[in-house]
């Protein structure tokens, strides 16, 4: 994972406005989204056949 932005590459990938003093990276957001989907599947909100 390349932490140093090269030529504003991170800004091109992230159209969302930057939160001042934000420590939440896209990797954390992806991890949280993944865990949320897994939690919904375990709870039974999303059918098991819908998830690959």
pLDDT digits (tens, 9 = 90+) for 2-25: 455 455 444 455 555 555 445 667
Higher-scoring residue by pLDDT: 44, 50: 44
**pTM (two decimals):** 0.40
Q: Which letter does DSSP use for residue 20 in this model?
A: T
Residues 6+ away with beta carbon under 8 Å from 14 = 26
Predicted local confidence at residue 8, as pLDDT: 46
- What pLDDT shows up at residue 18? 57
pLDDT of residue 13: 54
H helix or E strand, kind and range, residue 51: none
């Amino acid at each position: 994972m390349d932490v140093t932005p090269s030529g504003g590459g991170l800004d091109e990938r992230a159209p969302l406005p930057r939160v001042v003093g934000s420590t939440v990276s896209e990797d954390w957001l992806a991890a949280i989204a993944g865990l949320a989907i897994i939690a919904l599947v375990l709870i039974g909100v999303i059918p098991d056949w819908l998830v690959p």
